[in-house]
A and B are shown apart, each in its own frame.
Chain A
Amino acid sequence: MQTTAPRSSAANDEIPFEQRWRVADLNDRYVRCLDDNALEEWPRFFTEDGVYKIVPRENFDAGLPGALLLFDSNAMRRDRVLCVREVNIYRIHVARHYLGGTAIARLPDGGFAVRANFLVVHSDGEGRSSLFAAGEYRDHIVCEGAELRFREKVVILDSFTVPGQLAEPL
């Protein structure tokens, strides 16, 4: 688990405005991709061997390693997209992510440690909306050429009793 995550938003002050904007923009584009159901684009937000995991808050707090999902290659992420599209069956819904409380700190490798809160609202086939997930992203973002990418994205799920099932990435 990342230990370099910034503890408060005060860390933002040390980062030039343009860099801060680029980092925040990465998460904005990330949730835009998910909410537009452009899942085929989702793996491209990560480095090839980047880690994506969804960790229930109770495991995180207890120091237990178990995750809801653990992918450490873009091949695994493409497999997930294939299954969401072609294989698995789950509640019919539309998803909306809401981000806030972004805190950014610079890391020795030139990358950034980022925390951001998220809410995800699902609306079902009969137009009823409900809170699907609440939690926090803990990201390790690196520069690959001109692009920022996630070397690690840990989704800490405060709402760790999942309503129904969790198919698409958060």
Chain B
Amino acid sequence: MNGTEPLAAAYTWPTADPACVPFAVYTDPAIFAAEQERIFCGPVWHYLGLEAEIPKPGDFVSTYVGTLPVVLNRTEDGRVAAFVNRCAHRGAIVTRPTRGNCATHVCIYHQWTYDHDGNLAGVPYRHGLGGVGGFPADFDPRAHGLRKLRVAVHCGIVFGTLAEAGPSLAEFLGKPVLDRLARLFSRPVAVLGYQRQHVRGNWKLMVENVKDAYHGGLLHAFNSKFGFFRSTQKGEVTVAGGGVHSILTTFGTTGEQDTGSALQNVQTYRPALTLEDSSMLRHIEEFDDGIATSIVSVFPSFLLLHASNFPVFRHVRPKATGEFEMVWTYIGYADDSEEMRDLRLRQANLVGPAGYISIEDAEAVELVQRAIEGERSDALGIVALGGRGTDSQGHLVTEAAIRGFWQGYRKLMGFPVAA
């Protein structure tokens, strides 16, 4: 498969518009395998990490591109470089720690040694031992390096791609995403910590969740009961990158008490509760552009949530059709005052696998996966809130960003589309 030929007719998308989603995309192992080839090894840029995580020469962090293990490095001369973490000799994982610093990457199995770019720098007994053995005379170490990714950096965020051709990073992200990421990276950032969770669901259900402006005030009762976010708040959905990326934005102050008649029978809009200690809801103004919340989704699996004073990245790592891991990277700024850092650490209570406004997402995703496993092959779901198109919309009562994802996804995957 080279990513251009269509999938078999059995995978024909049931509707011309992307407002219907066949459940098979979440459960079919053949589709999962095709995603690895066409998306994760395709003409797409993938989040690898932050420059702030690898400040010194020799620093590295381990990550994944789809299911492929990848290491992001700071080279001796200060560049960033990335390789697939699989020895060119027998295919073993070369670098075992999640993060660290090393002079060279050495495979434990037969001590094949690589530099930070992934070039093969040493092969034990290459010329034999005591005149016997050794690799053939035509063995060329330059042809047996680790598989390298092309890397590119935007504002300290490192992306990589396994495709030899395709759009530049700037072309891939597009101006709306470039600008919103640049807003966050106006000053040097510092990592405050990581959180991880394992979810028994397909990775795309999580990406859709982040593009879903519908559920915020409904599933996450904390939002409505304590007035943090609701669908009636002024906001907009920007569909970018030809559909695949999106930015959900809310403006102005939070906590407006407008439940509206349409919501009076909705369970999560019962009379508000109050927190005894609201220290984590304190907000210190850092930007003067009126944006209250930014939720950016970069195709396929890199997500930014920036609300109040907590910016956090999420990286969704597919493991199998019904299984993914999500890594949350919490950041602040290198020049944060102690007061600001304390506030950011408190606001981390709001998000992550234990967070007040995000705890339900994994449960919702798992409920979907449990119910659709073993469904009929023609069963499908519907995402038609706000129409069937993929244009940006000046409100949050829409699933346009989800439809944009499926429009871009089925094209990249080569799904035939019903007339």
Contacts and interface: CB of A to CB of B under 8 A. Distances in A.
Interface of A: 54, 56, 58-59, 62, 64-71, 73, 75-76, 78-79, 82-83, 86-91, 160-167
Contacts of B277: 73, 75-76, 79
A90 B363 contact: yes
Q: 5 closest Cβ contacts across the A-B interface?
A: A66-B193, A75-B277, A75-B276, A166-B354, A162-B353
A64 B348 CA distance: 13
Given A64-B193, A66-B193, A165 B275 contact: no
A122 to B, nearest CB: 13
B359 interface: yes
A12 B200 CA distance: 43
B345 A87 contact: no
Given A66-B345, A68-B354, A161 B325 contact: yes
A78 B273 CA distance: 13
A93 to B, nearest CB: 11
Chain B interface main SS type: mixed
Contacts of A166: 353-354, 359
Interface stretch (B219-227, B243-251, B384-392): B219-227
Given A64-B192, A87-B221, A160-B196, 11 more contacts: A54-B354, A66-B192, A66-B195, A70-B348, A83-B222, A86-B225, A91-B366, A160-B195, A161-B198, A162-B196, A164-B198
Contacts of B193: 56, 59, 64-67
A59 B194 contact: yes
A87 B219 CA distance: 10
Contacts of A69: 349, 354
Contacts of B98: 58
B171 to A, nearest CB: 34
A73 B379 CA distance: 50
5 contacts: A56-B194, A58-B194, A66-B195, A70-B346, A164-B353
Interface string B259-282: 000000000000001011101100
Interface of B: 98-99, 191-200, 219, 221-222, 225, 273, 275-277, 279-280, 325, 330, 341, 345-346, 348-349, 352-354, 356, 359-360, 362-363, 366
A70 B345 CA distance: 8
Contacts of A73: 277, 279
A127 B313 CA distance: 35
Contacts of B353: 68, 162, 164-166
B359 A167 contact: yes
Contacts of A162: 195-198, 353-354
A167 B341 CA distance: 24
Given A162-B197, A164-B362, A88 B345 contact: no
Contact of B276 (A66, A78, A88, A161): A78
Contacts of B356: 83, 87-88
Nearest to A163: B198
B221 A167 contact: no
Contacts of A88: 221-222, 356, 359-360
B101 to A, nearest CB: 12
Nearest to A84: B359
A83 B225 CA distance: 10
Contacts of A54: 354
Nearest to B276: A75
Nearest to A160: B196
Given A62-B99, A76-B279, A90-B360, A161 B222 contact: no
Contact of B363 (A76, A79, A165): A165
Contacts of A163: 197-198
B309 to A, nearest CB: 14
Given A66-B330, A162-B354, A89 B363 contact: yes
Contact of B273 (A82, A89, A91, A161): A82
B276 A165 contact: no
A165 B192 contact: no
Q: Which of A64, A65, A90 has the most C-beta atoms of chain B within 10 angstroms of its own C-beta?
A: A65
A98 B33 CA distance: 40
A64 B222 contact: no
A69 B345 CA distance: 9
A164 B194 CA distance: 16
Contacts of B197: 161-165
A67 B348 contact: yes
B347 to A, nearest CB: 10
B359 A65 contact: no
Nearest to A60: B193
A68 B194 contact: no
Contact of B362 (A68, A70, A86, A165): A165
A79 B196 CA distance: 24
Given A70-B348, A78-B276, A163-B198, A89 B219 contact: yes
Contacts of A76: 276-277, 279-280
Nearest to B347: A70
Contacts of A78: 276
Nearest to B201: A164
Contact of B359 (A56, A66, A160, A165): A165
Contacts of B222: 83, 87-88
A164 B354 contact: no
Residue of B277, B330, B354, B360 with most chain A CB atoms under a 10 A cut-off: B354
A15 B360 CA distance: 45
